[in-house]
Amino acid sequence: MPEVKTRDFPAASAVSILDPQIRMALQRAGTGFDGGRRECIEEVTPQVWEEWREQARQTKLHTLDHLDYYLEMLEERVSANGGQVHFAADAAEANAIVADLVRTRGVRIATKSKSMVSEELNLNHMLESIGVDVYETDLGEYIIQLAEETPFHLVAPALHKSKEEVSRLFTEKLGVPPMDDINALAAAAREALRQRFLEADLGISGANFLVAETGTLVIITNEGNGRLCTSAPRIHVGITGMEKVIPSVQDLAVFLRLLPRSATGQRITSYVSMVSGPRKHDDEDGPEEFHLIVVDNGRSRMLADPDLREALMCIRCGACLNICPVYQKVGGHAYGWVYPGPIGSIVSPMLVGLDQASDLPQASSLCGACREACPIRIDIPRMLLHLRHKLAEEPDAGGRAKGTMPRPIANGFAKVMANPGLLSATRKFARAAQAMLLGSPISPLARGGRGIRKAGLPLLSKWTHSRDLPEIAPRSFGEIWKQELSNPDGER
Amino acid sequence: MAEATGTPKSEFLASVRRALGRQAGPPQTEYPRLAQGIEQLEDQAREVRERVQANRGALLDKLAEVAQLRGWQVRRTPDPEEAMDYVQSLADGQGANRVVRSRQEVFEAVPLDATLTGMGITVTEVAHGEGASRESLREQIAMSGMGITGVDYAIAETGSAVIVPRRGLGRLVSLVPPVHVALVRPDDVIESLDDLFLMRRLEYMRNGGDMGPYLNFITGPSRTADIEQTIVVGVHGPKEVHMVLLG
Ligand code: SF4
């Protein structure tokens, strides 16, 4: 697995939030991707969109609830088509399967199209360590590979790189002259990779969907690199998570409508490729061998928890990232592992261990925008709360951040809120205290004028040092209601 | 065939079952789509064909419109001569001196070879055997400025050309040359993604569990927006795609 830096979230986000280039890139993703998505919904009408979402959600729910059955069907059908399925319990095993293929088939050059699961495995690193030249071929992934970084976004891995940076990178790594035209940069990457495609022994791809019924791997791409990786080399290996399976080839219609629209605001991508096995005897071209590696790597932990199972319905469209007020400020790298954003804040803790990533479930305002945007209607906020609950209940799981409010204070707060008399008395007391403190020039609460900002309150400082403590209003809603709004005649 | 490595299938499936807390076996109620047998699919496919037949004109209009929006350069003409003139002008504009094409029925209606050869262009039909090895054909494709194919389906909903590769219809002809020309016959048109996958599933069942190893949708040129979200066409696939609609 790649280095897990999820513990660094507070520090890393504090740095990235100040980076003007990241801010610009995130804004572009917001207006470009999310704006496009909204346009698409208007175009098909929100009503039809909701029907699609419901259909997709039901399909995913059904498949996950019977995942063993559909995985078995998938394995049988891929075999019947002449392909080979391998099951990997964890990253090490998945890598060993690939290493074994490399050794027994004498693989020297591999081309790779985009696969998030391979990032999870740190597959490139393993391949290089056994002497395989491996080339990412998706332009964004290629840039990331040259820069030795991890993806910044599920759909646009190099979103954070300016064209100047890409140009410097290409000059340094590919020896091409500096260029400031994006077309020229893309052409340089095309040139550098074209020959690799034709030389490669092994093509590696991820999968957007696996169709159980027909034993088919489906990938959705725009550049054509996915088509090349699955067509030109003599061996094709697909690597993907076990949750990608859907029952019928007819289910694809709705997913092909939802995914590109949610991801980039495209009605459909340039290419959709469906691989059901190695080439047949008489075919013009295509690989002689097809292998499919189905990876667990912690997914059965999510499957086993009914409160988190939903997270496995994710189709990695990135819509929840583009709309998240937290991701939109801190960007992808702050999350510290392969999967960023709201869905990453669930998936990463579950795959690397909640104790390693206890800050991620806190990195949300629970505003619900992600659930709104998600084409599968995945209830991300509910699961984030569930993880927070777990952290609070099982202090050991938290390692460090066991919630930000000490337990006795939280208990006291709950007691006060549940008792109207007590609440009213507490409010009166607090109002008096506030008037006194705000009036005093030496008060720690008075910084920044009237508001109570970033108050370093004793005992509560963890809660308040990065949150504004709202000033208590002169009259409570209850009082306003009583005095002005309620209707004594009992009519409305 | 290769050996499976990694966790044995039975063990892997057992661990999934443990996570789910369920016993081996099918779902209690069969998934509705999978419950549909070949007879039902035949009936539905007949309805699709009738619907497409009845609306062919409107579907062709829609295909032309949507394909254009998705980045195809669309030329609509029922006249094979005009179609050939169009392809000729494209080859001329490209300055291509090599062209590859698939071996498909549509070239009997639109016999391009003579026209192109007459312009001094080398035309290679990509079909192995008869002296042409797969390797030599691959080289021909890599050197060509244009690839011409028919399609198996054209979907009006999405503006996509669908190709099911096989003998005579290689995967690389529509992918490697910088320009792809797709010749679409009125009979190739279907309305929606649902129509397509219904047909594919029927095909799979009719052939006793086989629908060919590959299928590809093509919708406009190859493109990326990976640098600063600026769209660039022609990354690893064609930068220019033309749909010649023969009806
Ligand atoms: S959780 Fe939903 S919105 Fe987020 S990436 Fe997954 S499918 Fe897309």
Task: Give the number of domains in chain B.
Answer: 1
**Residues A75 and A168 grouped into a single domain:** yes
Pairwise CA distance, residues B217 & B199, whole Å: 15
Reported as a pLDDT band with limits 50, 70 and 90, residue A490 is low
Are A113 and A249 part of one and the same domain? yes
Is there a domain that residue B87 lies in? Answer: yes
Contacts of A272 in chain B (CB under 8 A): 160, 216-217, 219
**Range in A17-21, A56-60, A382-386 with the lowest mean pLDDT:** A17-21
Mutate which of A320, A324, A347 to test ligand 1's pocket (most atoms within 8 Å of Cβ)?
A: A320
Which of B126, B245, B144, B233 has its CA nearest to residue B185?
A: B245
How many Cβ atoms from other residues are within 10 Å of residue A128's Cβ? 12
User: Of the segments A38-47, A457-466, B223-232, which one has the largest average pLDDT value?
Assistant: A38-47
pTM: 0.91
d(CA B171, CA B159): 19
**Residue B156: C-alpha distances to residues A274, A437, B184, B189 (Å):** 20, 70, 12, 7
Question: Hey, of A142, A153, A285, which one would you mutate to test binding to chain B, going by the most B CBs within 10 A of its CB?
Answer: A285
Q: Determine contact, residues A259/A375, Cβ cutoff 8 Å.
A: yes
d(CA A33, CA A420): 47
Residue A302 counted as domain residue: no
Whether the CB of A376 sits within 6 Å of ligand 1 = yes
- pLDDT grade for B164, boundaries at 50, 70 and 90: very high
The pLDDT of A459-483, averaged and rounded, is 76
Chain A CB within 8 Å of residue B215 CB: yes
Report which residue type is found at A448: G
pLDDT tens, B194-239?
999 999 999 999 999 999 999 999 999 999 988 988 899 998 999 9
A interface test, pick of B164, B195, B224, B231 with most A CB neighbours within 10 Å: B224
What does the pLDDT read at residue A492? 46
First to last CA, chain A: 62
Q: Do A71 and B12 touch (CB under 8 A)?
A: yes
The last residue of one of the domains, among A385, A404, A423, is A404
- Measured CA to CA, the distance from residue A409 to residue A415 in angstroms comes to 10
Q: Which of A361-365, A371-375, A391-395, B48-52 has the lowest mean pLDDT?
A: A391-395
For atom 3 of ligand 1, the residue with the nearest CA is A374
Q: How many CB atoms lie within 10 A of CB B30?
A: 11
Asked if residue B7 is part of any domain, the answer here is no
Residue A373 lies in domain: 11-44+319-404
3 state SS of B101 = strand
CATH of the domain at A87: 3.40.50.10420
3-state secondary structure B120-160: CCEEEECCCECCECHHHHHHHHHHCCEEEEECCEEECCCCE
| Chain A touched by B142 (CB under 8 Å) | yes
Range(s) of the domain holding residue B117: 34-246
Cβ–Cβ pairs < 8 A, chains A and B: 280
For residues A89 and A232, membership in a common domain is answered with: yes
Tokens of A307: 């409160």
- Residue among A317, A371, A382 to mutate when testing ligand 1 (max atoms within 8 A of CB): A317
Question: Which phi and psi angles does B102 have, rounded to 5°?
Answer: -80, 175
Q: What is the pLDDT of residue A401?
A: 47
- Is there a contact between A160 and A136 (Cβ–Cβ < 8 Å)? no
Contact B213/A at CB under 8 A: yes
Quick one: average pLDDT of B146-169? 96
Length reported for chain A: 492
Average pLDDT in the B30-40 region? 95
Same domain, A263 and A346: no
- At A445 the pLDDT is 55
Residue nearest ligand 1's atom 6 by CA? A314
CA distance B55 to B76: 17
Q: What is the domain-level CATH number for residue B107?
A: 3.40.50.10420
For the stretch B31-40, contacts whose Cβ atoms lie closer than 8 Å and that sit 24 or more positions apart, written own/partner, are B31/A62, B31/A247, B31/A248, B33/A247, B33/A248, B33/A250, B33/A251, B34/A213, B34/A247, B34/A248, B37/B205, B38/B202, B38/B205, B38/B206
A86 lies in some domain = yes
Q: Which residue stretches of A200-293 are H helix? A: 225-231, 252-264
Same domain, A36 and A148: no
Each residue of A270-287: b (16+ CB within 10 Å) or e? Answer: bbbbbbbbbbbeebbbbb
Q: What is the DSSP string of A166-204?
A: HHHHHHHHH-PPP---HHHHHHHHHHHHHHHHHH-SEEE
Which are the contacts of A253, defined by CB distance < 8 A and separation ≥ 6? B192, B193, B194, B196, B197
Dist. CA A284–CA A280, nearest whole Å: 9
Q: CA-CA distance, B154 to B163, in Å (whole number)?
A: 9
Domain end call among A361, A384, A404: A404
Chain B segment 89-108 residues within 8 A of A by beta carbon are none
Helix (H) or strand (E) holding A85: strand A84-88
Which of B20, B33, B219 is opposite residue A251, by nearest beta carbon?
B33
Q: How far is A359 from chain B (nearest CA, A)?
A: 26
Domain boundary among A376, A404, A432: A404
**pLDDT tens-digit series, residues A205-216:** 999 999 999 999
Strands (DSSP E) contained in A197-344 are 202-205, 209-211, 216-221, 235-241, 245-246, 271-275, 289-295
For residue B22, being part of any structural domain is answered with no
Most confident of A6-20, A382-396, A436-450, B80-94: B80-94
CB A9 within 8 A of CB A334: yes
CB half-sphere exposure, A358, CA atoms < 13 A: 18
* Residue A445 and residue A381 in one domain: no
A277 with A195, same domain: the answer is yes
A276 and A344 belong to one structural domain? no
**Domain-embedded: residue B10:** no
For residue B84, tell me if it sits in a domain: yes
Residues A36 and A62 in one domain: no
Other beta carbons less than 10 A from residue A179's beta carbon: 16
Among B12, B217, B24, residue whose Cα is nearest residue A293: B12
Q: Which two three-digit tokens encode residue B85?
A: 């003139």
Question: Which of A479, A475, A56 minimizes the C-alpha distance to A248?
Answer: A56
Does residue B153 lie within any of the structural domains? Answer: yes
**In the structure, what pLDDT confidence band is assigned to residue A399 with cuts at 50, 70 and 90?**
very low
* B28 within domain boundaries: no
What total number of domains does chain A contain?
3
Token pair for residue A327?
């991701």
Single out the residue of B200, B184, B193, B217 nearest to residue B60, CA to CA. Answer: B184
- Give the number of other Cβ atoms within 10 Å of residue B239's Cβ: 17
Task: Using CA coordinates, name the residue in chain A closest to B212.
Answer: A276
Q: Are residues A388 and A444 in the same domain?
A: no
What angle, 0 to 180 degrees and rounded to 10, lies between the N-to-C axes of helices A139-147 and A163-174?
70
Q: Using 50, 70 and 90 to split pLDDT, how confident is the model at A452?
A: low
Instruction: Answer yes or no: are the C-beta atoms of B33 and A88 closer than 8 Å.
Output: no
Q: Which residues of A touch B27 (CB under 8 A)?
A: 62, 65-66, 69
Q: Is residue A4 part of a domain?
A: no
Pair A156, A293 in one domain: yes
Per-window interface: B 183-212 vs A, CB < 8 A: 192-194, 196-198, 200-201, 204, 209-212
Q: Would you state the pLDDT for residue A311?
A: 97
* Residue B27 belongs to some domain of the structure: no
A400 and A418 assigned to the same domain: no
Q: What is the mean pLDDT of chain B?
A: 94
Neighbours of A418 (CB within 10 A): 9
Does ligand 1 come within 6 angstroms of the Cβ of A298?
no
